[in-house]
Chains A and B, each alone.
Chain A
């Protein structure tokens, strides 16, 4: 079975893993403590440059030196690495959950491995993530796929060509799907995209999948040569990879439309545009730096007299979100970058005003017009009212 590729990987994973294990074994022979190193995937090791367009890792690494406290983690790491290398060799593909059960089965069949047994899946997931960070490869490159769903996508003018495992291709004309969405799974980077005819004007990513459905039901994708996608809240790797693919292949303007609140700006929009600190090693292939924040903007609140909610500081979640916004202004390199000054200003506004406005508030502008959101969005795109 051909390996599903997300990028052109220059390293030979199997060879690298063997070198690593050989070094560890050599250290042990010399009664020297072997050390495993992985990129430190935290905000304090994240750097952002608008030229690069996504968060990149600094020099900091997480070192796991062998001692009595870490021997369990190391033994589990080597055990899981062996399983994953086996998959690479045979071409087998698994999800994280499947790997959890595979490891349980291996433990059950060999009493020697019993101490390695995972109590629950998060334990084995953490080991899988550690292996990927250590080898600086994507989980997918280790033949481990999560059940990541790309965003539900609609367009009357987009054709997607997929190369299947047997080498044949499948063409999907999104215009022929009616109101059914096209939803790529976790390998969107291998699709080839092209417009059916003419040009696709823009791609609109809506935070709420329900609102994206509403726009489609009202025919926005029929009136405009565009792509409409529902992000389903915090974007999964599937959504992120899909946006990156659209941006790179179609080279069209990308707009994000969502709530005006700190959570949306930091956790949803920033992840879509520049990736996250937790996924530093995969941001280059899983972020779409060209995406613009279409709204809701603070000036929209004023212009359209949108209904806002006061942020209730007694509400734990809302208060935490405000605190995170303040923290982001101080520590997040994305919001500290000069090019993103206007986004930082929005965060300042949110912290100062202690207000939030939902993306659906636009429907209050003209309650009798079902196309009001489409009209506002198009007007904003035309007038350049985005950040």
Chain B
């Protein structure tokens, strides 16, 4: 009989990196970038810092593996930085996270991604990640290389030294990995960066990818999103095993305390209901460790029979229609767009918010007979693979886009030069795999996404209608010019009419058809005016700059001067260091100096 051995978590992931997004050289580059950027954004938001992200991806030569390049991925932020003692844990240890199971809408959740990136660098280039970190409390920055001790699942710090860094605080990671750079397409780096830019209006980002020009995308929102408080899990979302494991986290407390403190929506009234369902009153005062498995099952079953209030929706975070509207303009020259942020809803006892942005860009060459470009997001992280299996794709396909003026083959994505961005945010998103590439959607969630899409579709259809009317007018004018003279000439030939009659009839025809063109013009004017009303309404709602006006309009409820002054400050000040932002950052760096584990 063979000997049974146990392996460390790091060992498991080192052998199964494909499960967490490192299944090919091109995905490895994307996943590494994604993990680093997600961590930076999460850290900045946790500490109420407006993020300034700088990215550089370069080829350094051939990779050690066949058909790969040695790729350098550098991500630098102005976040709180990490204390020297935390570097090993953050970058070299799996499942060491400050976010695991907290019930917050953070991008990272489990503490796997960045350690997996370090492992990939180590496996393919024999060196972990180079880190440069400085917290507000440090005089000098700390520089080190972090490796993963795969057998022991812990980080190993190498070449640690103090260095000068002119940033007040921040973090810079430098991965050198075997990979392949793919810029465009669903799984491309540019698609990721565009997606991240769209759903993070408060972020400014600078990126230089291989031999492309450096791109600087300034922020369009000057407020860090309010991260809603964490929420406790709702009992109806758990399976028996999860319920018991959850109990195990609470140690020696009574069942009553466990139920009240470990879950949302459990009150004294619920406990009374549980008694009625057969849970003995004495059980509530029993210590968790003294409860048998059979009793756990009874309690669990009773809990599922009791009707509970749906969980609170306060724990979900939104980008907001205003943010999306402004952010979408950063992706290119927008022809038209429509955005929808739904109110938070409960789907399968989990709070969820869905946001949709639909846009058409003037500067994007896109074939009219291609499917729309679908950008999917889960907790503001772009999902770029396995599109067909995702609940978002299913929802888009289930909408009848023809009624909004788009072509759509049966059960498929609609056709046209549009970008559809759909974002699902929830503290409890269910993914189909560990690499978080597709959302596993229930019927409830699919329906909620569907409704959001339909709302956005209704707004979009006004643009399309106006375009149709314009095309109609053009067609009618063409008809007049094309067929009028032929008709008159034909009639004159049959009748044998003289030229004078023909000329007079042509003049009469022009008058008649001109009237029709005028009525088409009137219809076009009506559609254009309806569209303008919608745009004005949205502009007013979001305090956006008028396309034709020079001065920015006042934001809702604020004097115009104040809004203009703030906008000016944001534009002129160095990236991420507006007065307001610095103040906030300064007031919160203490928190940052804590032991926030960045995934």
Binding site for B on A (CB under 8 A): 17-18, 21-22, 24-25, 27-33, 66-69, 71-72, 74-75, 78-79, 81-82, 85, 112-113, 115-116
Task: Tell whether, in the assembled complex, residue B482 and residue A115 are in contact, meaning their CB atoms are under 8 Å apart.
Answer: yes
Q: Give the shortest distance, in Å, between B234 (CB) and chain A (any CB).
A: 45
Q: Give the shortest distance, in Å, between A357 (CB) and chain B (any CB).
A: 37
Task: Tell whether, in the assembled complex, residue A82 and residue B482 are in contact, meaning their CB atoms are under 8 Å apart.
Answer: no
Task: Tell whether, in the assembled complex, residue B479 and residue A72 are in contact, meaning their CB atoms are under 8 Å apart.
Answer: yes
Q: Which residues of B contact A69 (CB under 8 A)?
A: 476, 479
Task: Tell whether, in the assembled complex, residue B483 and residue A72 are in contact, meaning their CB atoms are under 8 Å apart.
Answer: yes
Given A29-B501, A68-B476, A78-B494: A112 in contact with B517 (beta carbons within 8 A): no
Q: Give the shortest distance, in Å, between B374 (CB) and chain A (any CB).
A: 34
- What are the interface flags for B480-500 relative to A under an 8 Å C-beta threshold, 1 for contact and 0 otherwise? 101111111111111101000
Task: Tell whether, in the assembled complex, residue B487 and residue A75 are in contact, meaning their CB atoms are under 8 Å apart.
Answer: yes
Among candidates B486, B494, B505, B511, residue contacting A115 with C-beta atoms closer than 8 Å: B486
Task: Tell whether, in the assembled complex, residue A24 and residue B491 are in contact, meaning their CB atoms are under 8 Å apart.
Answer: yes
Binding site for A on B (CB under 8 A): 476, 479-480, 482-495, 497, 501, 504-509, 511-513, 516-517, 520
Task: Tell whether, in the assembled complex, residue B490 and residue A78 are in contact, meaning their CB atoms are under 8 Å apart.
Answer: yes
Among candidates A67, A71, A78, A115, residue contacting B491 with C-beta atoms closer than 8 Å: A78
Task: Tell whether, in the assembled complex, residue B512 and residue A75 are in contact, meaning their CB atoms are under 8 Å apart.
Answer: no
Q: Which residues of B contact A72 (CB under 8 A)?
A: 479, 482-483
Given A68-B516, A68-B520, A71-B479, 9 further pairs, Cβ under 8 A: A18-B495, A21-B494, A29-B505, A33-B512, A68-B479, A71-B480, A75-B487, A75-B490, A78-B490
Task: Tell whether, in the assembled complex, residue B508 and residue A29 are in contact, meaning their CB atoms are under 8 Å apart.
Answer: yes
Task: Tell whether, in the assembled complex, residue A74 and residue B512 are in contact, meaning their CB atoms are under 8 Å apart.
Answer: no
Pick 14 A–B contacts, CB within 8 A, sort by A: A21-B495, A25-B501, A27-B508, A29-B504, A31-B507, A66-B509, A67-B512, A68-B476, A68-B480, A71-B487, A72-B482, A78-B491, A81-B494, A82-B494
Q: Which residues of B contact A29 (CB under 8 A)?
A: 501, 504-505, 508
Q: Which residues of A contact B513 (CB under 8 A)?
A: 67-68, 71
Q: Give the shortest distance, in Å, between B201 (CB) and chain A (any CB).
A: 46
Given A25-B495, A28-B488, A68-B517: A115 in contact with B483 (beta carbons within 8 A): yes
For the complex of A and B, list the 6 residue pairs with the smallest distance between their C-beta atoms, beginning with the closest: A78-B490, A31-B508, A28-B505, A68-B476, A115-B482, A75-B487
Task: Tell whether, in the assembled complex, residue B486 and residue A113 are in contact, meaning their CB atoms are under 8 Å apart.
Answer: yes
Nearest residue (CB) in A for B485 is: A112
A69–B472 Cα gap in the complex (Å)? 10
Q: Give the shortest distance, in Å, between A259 (CB) and chain B (any CB).
A: 35
Task: Tell whether, in the assembled complex, residue B486 and residue A116 are in contact, meaning their CB atoms are under 8 Å apart.
Answer: yes
Given A21-B495, A25-B497, A67-B516: A82 in contact with B479 (beta carbons within 8 A): no
A30–B275 Cα gap in the complex (Å)? 92
Task: Tell whether, in the assembled complex, residue B486 and residue A30 are in contact, meaning their CB atoms are under 8 Å apart.
Answer: no
Among candidates B476, B482, B483, B508, residue contacting A28 with C-beta atoms closer than 8 Å: B508
Among candidates B482, B491, B508, B511, residue contacting A21 with C-beta atoms closer than 8 Å: B491
Task: Tell whether, in the assembled complex, residue A25 and residue B511 are in contact, meaning their CB atoms are under 8 Å apart.
Answer: no
Q: Give the shortest distance, in Å, between B5 (CB) and chain A (any CB).
A: 60
Q: Give the shortest distance, in Å, between B49 (CB) and chain A (any CB).
A: 61
Among candidates A25, A85, A112, residue contacting B505 with C-beta atoms closer than 8 Å: A25
A67–B517 Cα gap in the complex (Å)? 9
Q: Give the shortest distance, in Å, between A133 (CB) and chain B (any CB).
A: 18
A27–B501 Cα gap in the complex (Å)? 11
Q: Give the shortest distance, in Å, between A198 (CB) and chain B (any CB).
A: 54
Q: Which residues of B contact A78 (CB under 8 A)?
A: 487, 490-491, 494
Nearest residue (CB) in B for A72 is: B483
A21–B516 Cα gap in the complex (Å)? 22
Task: Tell whether, in the assembled complex, residue A75 and residue B509 are in contact, meaning their CB atoms are under 8 Å apart.
Answer: no
Q: Which residues of A contact B494 (CB under 8 A)?
A: 17-18, 21, 78, 81-82, 85
A115–B475 Cα gap in the complex (Å)? 13
Q: Which residues of B contact A25 (CB under 8 A)?
A: 488, 491-492, 495, 497, 501, 505
A115–B509 Cα gap in the complex (Å)? 17
Q: Give the shortest distance, in Å, between A86 (CB) and chain B (any CB).
A: 10
Task: Tell whether, in the assembled complex, residue A71 and residue B493 are in contact, meaning their CB atoms are under 8 Å apart.
Answer: no
A14–B220 Cα gap in the complex (Å)? 74
Q: Which residues of A contact B491 (CB under 8 A)?
A: 21, 24-25, 28, 78
Q: Which residues of B contact A116 (CB under 8 A)?
A: 483, 486
Given A17-B494, A25-B492, A31-B511: A74 in contact with B501 (beta carbons within 8 A): no
A366–B12 Cα gap in the complex (Å)? 80
Of A22, A75, A112, which is in contact with the most chain B CB atoms at under 10 Å from its CB? A75
Q: Which residues of A contact B511 (CB under 8 A)?
A: 31
Q: Give the shortest distance, in Å, between A284 (CB) and chain B (any CB).
A: 29
A30–B508 Cα gap in the complex (Å)? 6
Q: Give the shortest distance, in Å, between A22 (CB) and chain B (any CB).
A: 5
Q: Which residues of A contact B495 (CB under 8 A)?
A: 18, 21-22, 25
Q: Which residues of B contact A30 (CB under 8 A)?
A: 508
Q: Give the shortest distance, in Å, between A190 (CB) and chain B (any CB).
A: 30
A33–B512 Cα gap in the complex (Å)? 7
Q: Which residues of A contact B489 (CB under 8 A)?
A: 112
Q: Give the shortest distance, in Å, between A123 (CB) and chain B (any CB).
A: 14
Q: Give the shortest distance, in Å, between B490 (CB) and chain A (any CB).
A: 4
A28–B509 Cα gap in the complex (Å)? 6
A85–B490 Cα gap in the complex (Å)? 12
Of A29, A66, A78, A79, which is in contact with the most chain B CB atoms at under 10 Å from its CB? A29
Q: Which residues of B contact A27 (CB under 8 A)?
A: 508
A75–B483 Cα gap in the complex (Å)? 6
Task: Tell whether, in the assembled complex, residue B508 and residue A32 are in contact, meaning their CB atoms are under 8 Å apart.
Answer: yes
Nearest residue (CB) in A for B475 is: A68
Task: Tell whether, in the assembled complex, residue A66 and residue B483 are in contact, meaning their CB atoms are under 8 Å apart.
Answer: no
Task: Tell whether, in the assembled complex, residue A71 and residue B505 are in contact, meaning their CB atoms are under 8 Å apart.
Answer: no
Nearest residue (CB) in A for B510 is: A31
A81–B504 Cα gap in the complex (Å)? 22
Q: Which residues of B contact A21 (CB under 8 A)?
A: 491, 494-495
A30–B504 Cα gap in the complex (Å)? 8
Q: Which residues of A contact B488 (CB under 8 A)?
A: 25, 28
Q: Which residues of A contact B517 (CB under 8 A)?
A: 68
Task: Tell whether, in the assembled complex, residue B508 and residue A112 are in contact, meaning their CB atoms are under 8 Å apart.
Answer: no
A194–B210 Cα gap in the complex (Å)? 95
Q: Which residues of B contact A68 (CB under 8 A)?
A: 476, 479-480, 513, 516-517, 520
A15–B52 Cα gap in the complex (Å)? 85
Q: Which residues of B contact A28 (CB under 8 A)?
A: 488, 491, 504-506, 508-509, 512
A217–B493 Cα gap in the complex (Å)? 58
A28–B480 Cα gap in the complex (Å)? 14
Task: Tell whether, in the assembled complex, residue B493 and residue A82 are in contact, meaning their CB atoms are under 8 Å apart.
Answer: yes
A168–B183 Cα gap in the complex (Å)? 84
Task: Tell whether, in the assembled complex, residue A79 and residue B486 are in contact, meaning their CB atoms are under 8 Å apart.
Answer: yes
A28–B503 Cα gap in the complex (Å)? 10
